[in-house]
Chains A and B, each alone.
Chain A
Amino acid sequence: MIEMIPEVGHYALIIALLMAAVQAVMPLAGAATRRPLWMAYAWPMATGQFLFLLLAYGCLTASYLLDDFSVINVANNANSMLPWYYKFSAVWGNHEGSVLLWSLILSAWTYAVSRFSRGLPPDMVARVLGVMGLVSLGFLAFVLFTSNPFDRSLPDVPMDGADLNPLLQDFGLIVHPPMLYTGYVGFSVVFAFAIAALLSGRLDAAWTRWVRPWTNIAWAFLTVGIALGSWWAYYELGWGGWWFWDPVENASLLPWLAGTALIHSLAVTEKRGTFKSWTVLLAIMTFSLSLLGTFLVRSGVLTSVHAFANDPARGLFVLVLLGITVGASLLLFALRAPRVSRPGAFTWLSRDALLLVNNILLVVMTVTVLLGTIYPLILDAMKLGKISVGPPYFNALFVPLTVILCIFMGLGPVARWKRMAGRELLARLWLSGLVALLIAAVLPLVYHGEWDLKVSIGLAIALWLVLSLMRDLWDKSARSDSRWTGMKALTPAYWGMVLGHLGLAVTIIGVTLVSNYSVERNVRMAEGDSVDISGIHFTMSHLEERRGPNYIAEVATVQVRRDGENSATSFVMTPEKRLYIARGMPMTQVALRPGLFHDLYVAMGEDLGDGSWALRIQIKPFVRWLWLGALLMAAGGLIAVVDRRYRRKLADRQAQTDIAQVREEATV
């Protein structure tokens, strides 16, 4: 029975593909020809596809846990010595498994849409599910025809597996890819809604209310996914960097930037009925960038930890898929978009205008990152030479754009829709601006004893965001009875915005301080040597060899004591240099002492012979704030989803449309 598991998974995958095909064709055809029976295929197919993919995925996981090395994928990426939780996560630590996970998550989102959109008109849901079926069809075909994880190597079964890449044997890898994929793939829901709106010509306030929760959830997952990736790189790669402007990181940042623009333009579309075509275009763009990210990472055109695939057929397949998706949806947009647009009037000083600025800036940021990421690939493809675009390019453009974005971001929440008197805006915000500037000018002096323009600018914009939000909160919670009831009366959507913006401010503080005030020292140390860095003494007390389950490690014990403190408060850090046996691959295991205000970071470099080692010792101020801010942003996105207006209106609508629909269907 156990020998059959991969076959069961393979069959389940094939059945899921067939179901995706039905789900792609029938509901769309039904919606176009007004046949309720055809449309009704969408729901059972969505459920079935999810169940069968779950089964396929479960089978692959079982093969990993049971060490079935006759499956090539398992043999290449696992080892009998690997701890069970890494066997579990090794499923997505390789190309085939991760594409299968992608498909599984897509089907989970499809299933969720089919479950949680009962209140929507059936033809709308049928179209949405149909479009998602199309996407799923493409990806399942990709899995089955180019990257089948169930391929076997019978009858020559290897004795043991080649083991998982040691870099991926880590908690960060267990959580980072599923989060990131959930975000990436979640944008397919918005995309499907956008295509459905173009097909049906229906793009009203109700449509926006359906789309906004889905967008927020996908965006929140993507935010957490990116933050986890950055955190993983920080402690796992041994360099202490948290963002490298690596093409693979950019691939995840691109849909995030476009998705952020989308969230804001959806707000305008819902409240004011404007920006409609633009919103649809952004929805298409966001998902296309998710696909582009998948292409860049999965096709092997980039070389990084993430690029497992070297088969050119795969790259071509994803490229064709990307081309079809982008081409078809843009064609549809060009043909149908004018029908769903309606111009609305606003003055240049209004929330509408500020959100327009937000969108323009975010799109410009997206384009600059995109250009820097694919420019080397384009040049290479045209045989114009091998180049690389380094972090200075991205920093030179991204940082000033962020500063401009934040200046407007402070104004946005305070400004009114449609029009606002400049004098009123000034009256409400001059104090916030002034206080932010003053504190930001003084803080570097207090903190570091030296004036620093870059730090001051970073802190100024972060404080400007926080203080203008506070001012807005103060104004909006003003009530005759008490502030507390005023606070309670504010909607979750508003609180979500506050948290999201605060999160960005926190991240900016983290970025500013860690980029400017980090201390890094590479030192040569033998047993008994000590070094003094920024008032902290590091002493290497001894070196020893240790054995792990699938590696041998050289472990250094470093005593750390702060200036002016006695030995009672000193502590020990133990960085390791591991050699993973199956792959013969060395790995740096960093010793971290995390703290809210600074991290201590000790990594072992290389053995210099004569018993001494090169150690990389770093002090990273406020580095945790980077990820803390991202978590706040994600929390903001999720809190906004529980806003009552998404539910109550849905419930009302459900009662109306269901009755209307039943009547209509009965008469047809």
Chain B
Amino acid sequence: MRAKRRNRLLLIVGLVALCGVAIGLTLYALRSNINLFFSPVQIASGEAPVERQIRAGGMVKKGSVERSSEGLQVSFVITDYVDDVTVHYSGILPDLFREGQGVVVVGKLNDKQELNADQVLAKHDENYMPPEVAEALKRSGYEPEDYKKMATSGEAP
């Protein structure tokens, strides 16, 4: 009987220890692997950390996409119609990347407040606007109807 009780105690202690370690590791991993989202306004005001992986998003500004004539380097400007951020990327842009549409980029800011992107995300749906981008645009006073109209008519705000 005593052995059984001791076993059970051991089991409980073991379980608690294991859970503790697991939760600790999880929280640590979460803390170091979270990518916070910043809008162009926030980046311009210096809220975003430099040289740390972040996500940023906005509309791709009309006529801002510049490709190098040799390799696969490309740069473009994302905007929330208040501030702009220049993005540099090397690689293949997603199928739905287009001027005047919303994108989310993952990458690091350099000291010139330009973003070197590792990843560019455009969504697999024509009307898709990344929710973070939609919210950032809303904060700068643009409702979905406005930028949809602007995207289709091709006007710059």
Q: Which residues of A contact B (CB under 8 A)?
A: 165, 167, 238, 303, 305, 345, 360, 364, 367-368, 371-372, 375, 385-390, 392-393, 396-397, 522-524, 583-588, 605-606, 608-610, 614, 616
When distances are taken between beta carbons in the complex, the residues of chain B under 8 Å from A305 are 124
- Beyond the given A303-B131, A386-B37, A388-B34, could you list 20 further A-B residue pairs with CB under 8 A, ordered by the A residue number? A167-B124, A303-B123, A345-B7, A360-B18, A367-B26, A371-B26, A386-B131, A388-B35, A389-B33, A389-B34, A390-B106, A392-B29, A392-B32, A397-B25, A523-B72, A524-B71, A587-B95, A606-B97, A614-B72, A616-B92
When distances are taken between beta carbons in the complex, the residues of chain B under 8 Å from A375 are 30
Contact residue among B71, B126, B128 (Cβ-Cβ distance under 8 Å from A584): B126
User: Distance in Å from the Cβ of A393 to the closest Cβ of chain B?
Assistant: 4
Q: Are A387 and B96 in contact (CB under 8 A)?
A: no
A sample of 9 cross-chain residue pairs with beta-carbon separation below 8 angstroms, ordered by A number, consists of: A364-B18, A364-B19, A385-B37, A386-B37, A386-B135, A388-B37, A390-B33, A396-B29, A605-B92
When distances are taken between beta carbons in the complex, the residues of chain A under 8 Å from B15 are 360
Complex Cα distance A393/B29, Å? 5
Q: Are A524 and B70 in contact (CB under 8 A)?
A: yes
Complex Cα distance A386/B106, Å? 14
Q: Are B71 and A238 in contact (CB under 8 A)?
A: no
Q: Are B22 and A586 in contact (CB under 8 A)?
A: no
Q: Mark interface residues in B46-73 (1 if CB within 8 Å of A CB, else 0).
A: 0000000001000000000001011110
When distances are taken between beta carbons in the complex, the residues of chain B under 8 Å from A523 are 72
Q: Are A303 and B30 in contact (CB under 8 A)?
A: no
Q: Are B22 and A364 in contact (CB under 8 A)?
A: yes
When distances are taken between beta carbons in the complex, the residues of chain B under 8 Å from A610 are 69
Contact residue among A167, A303, A392, A606 (Cβ-Cβ distance under 8 Å from B92): A606
When distances are taken between beta carbons in the complex, the residues of chain A under 8 Å from B33 are 389-390, 392-393, 396
Complex Cα distance A610/B69, Å? 9
Q: Mark interface residues in B98-111 (1 if CB within 8 Å of A CB, else 0).
A: 00000000100000
Complex Cα distance A587/B25, Å? 40
Closest chain A residue to B27 by CB distance? A371
Complex Cα distance A385/B19, Å? 28
Closest chain B residue to A305 by CB distance? B124
Q: Are B72 and A303 in contact (CB under 8 A)?
A: no
Closest chain A residue to B18 by CB distance? A360
User: Distance in Å from the Cβ of A420 to the closest Cβ of chain B?
Assistant: 16
Complex Cα distance A530/B18, Å? 55
Complex Cα distance A142/B106, Å? 37
Complex Cα distance A303/B106, Å? 17
User: Distance in Å from the Cβ of A631 to the closest Cβ of chain B?
Assistant: 28
In the complex, the 6 A-B pairs of residues with the closest C-beta atoms, listed nearest first: A605-B92, A393-B33, A386-B37, A586-B95, A392-B33, A396-B29
Please tell me if B132 contacts chain A, counting CB pairs below 8 Å.
Answer: yes
User: Distance in Å from the Cβ of A652 to the closest Cβ of chain B?
Assistant: 35
Complex Cα distance A606/B95, Å? 8
Counting chain B residues whose Cβ lies within 8 A of the other chain, the interface size class is 35 or more
Q: Are B30 and A393 in contact (CB under 8 A)?
A: yes
Closest chain A residue to B8 by CB distance? A343
Please tell me if B93 contacts chain A, counting CB pairs below 8 Å.
Answer: yes
Question: Chain B: interface secondary structure?
Answer: mixed
Q: Are A586 and B96 in contact (CB under 8 A)?
A: yes
Q: Are B18 and A522 in contact (CB under 8 A)?
A: no
When distances are taken between beta carbons in the complex, the residues of chain A under 8 Å from B97 are 606
Complex Cα distance A390/B106, Å? 10
Q: Are B135 and A522 in contact (CB under 8 A)?
A: no
Residue of B96, B97, B132 most packed against chain A (CB within 10 A): B132
User: Distance in Å from the Cβ of A350 to the closest Cβ of chain B?
Assistant: 12
User: Distance in Å from the Cβ of A549 to the closest Cβ of chain B?
Assistant: 20
When distances are taken between beta carbons in the complex, the residues of chain B under 8 Å from A165 are 124-125
Closest chain A residue to B39 by CB distance? A386
Residue of A167, A610, A614 most packed against chain B (CB within 10 A): A614
Complex Cα distance A523/B71, Å? 7
Complex Cα distance A372/B72, Å? 34
Complex Cα distance A396/B130, Å? 27
Closest chain B residue to A376 by CB distance? B34
Residues of chain B in range 113-157 having any CB-CB distance to chain A below 8 Å: 123-126, 128, 130-132, 135
Q: Are A238 and B22 in contact (CB under 8 A)?
A: no
Complex Cα distance A390/B55, Å? 11
When distances are taken between beta carbons in the complex, the residues of chain A under 8 Å from B69 are 610
- On whether A397 and B29 interact (CB within 8 A), knowing A167-B124, A606-B92, A606-B93, the answer reads yes
When distances are taken between beta carbons in the complex, the residues of chain B under 8 Å from A385 are 36-37
Closest chain B residue to A307 by CB distance? B125
User: Distance in Å from the Cβ of B72 to the closest Cβ of chain A?
Assistant: 5
Please tell me if B4 contacts chain A, counting CB pairs below 8 Å.
Answer: yes
Closest chain B residue to A398 by CB distance? B29
- On whether A238 and B95 interact (CB within 8 A), knowing A393-B30, A397-B25, the answer reads yes
User: Distance in Å from the Cβ of A172 to the closest Cβ of chain B?
Assistant: 14
Complex Cα distance A165/B93, Å? 20
When distances are taken between beta carbons in the complex, the residues of chain B under 8 Å from A393 are 29-30, 33-34
User: Distance in Å from the Cβ of B154 to the closest Cβ of chain A?
Assistant: 15
Complex Cα distance A285/B132, Å? 32
User: Distance in Å from the Cβ of A414 to the closest Cβ of chain B?
Assistant: 23
When distances are taken between beta carbons in the complex, the residues of chain A under 8 Å from B106 are 390
Residue of B123, B124, B130 most packed against chain A (CB within 10 A): B124
Q: Are B95 and A397 in contact (CB under 8 A)?
A: no
Q: Are B95 and A522 in contact (CB under 8 A)?
A: no
When distances are taken between beta carbons in the complex, the residues of chain B under 8 Å from A390 are 33-35, 106
When distances are taken between beta carbons in the complex, the residues of chain B under 8 Å from A524 are 70-72
When distances are taken between beta carbons in the complex, the residues of chain B under 8 Å from A606 are 92-93, 97
When distances are taken between beta carbons in the complex, the residues of chain A under 8 Å from B93 are 605-606
Closest chain A residue to B21 by CB distance? A364
Closest chain A residue to B26 by CB distance? A368
Q: Are A388 and B55 in contact (CB under 8 A)?
A: yes
When distances are taken between beta carbons in the complex, the residues of chain B under 8 Å from A609 are 67
Closest chain B residue to A346 by CB distance? B7
Q: Are A368 and B126 in contact (CB under 8 A)?
A: no
Complex Cα distance A668/B93, Å? 74
When distances are taken between beta carbons in the complex, the residues of chain A under 8 Å from B30 are 371-372, 375, 389, 393
Complex Cα distance A514/B90, Å? 23
Complex Cα distance A371/B30, Å? 9
Q: Are A608 and B22 in contact (CB under 8 A)?
A: no
- On whether A522 and B22 interact (CB within 8 A), knowing A303-B128, A583-B126, A585-B96, the answer reads no
Q: Are A588 and B95 in contact (CB under 8 A)?
A: yes
When distances are taken between beta carbons in the complex, the residues of chain A under 8 Å from B18 are 360, 364
When distances are taken between beta carbons in the complex, the residues of chain A under 8 Å from B72 are 522-524, 605, 608, 614
User: Distance in Å from the Cβ of B5 to the closest Cβ of chain A?
Assistant: 11
Closest chain B residue to A308 by CB distance? B125
Complex Cα distance A614/B67, Å? 12
When distances are taken between beta carbons in the complex, the residues of chain B under 8 Å from A585 are 95-96, 126
Complex Cα distance A196/B70, Å? 68
User: Distance in Å from the Cβ of B32 to the closest Cβ of chain A?
Assistant: 8
When distances are taken between beta carbons in the complex, the residues of chain A under 8 Å from B37 are 385-388
User: Distance in Å from the Cβ of B93 to the closest Cβ of chain A?
Assistant: 6
User: Distance in Å from the Cβ of B70 to the closest Cβ of chain A?
Assistant: 7
When distances are taken between beta carbons in the complex, the residues of chain A under 8 Å from B130 are 303
Complex Cα distance A583/B127, Å? 10
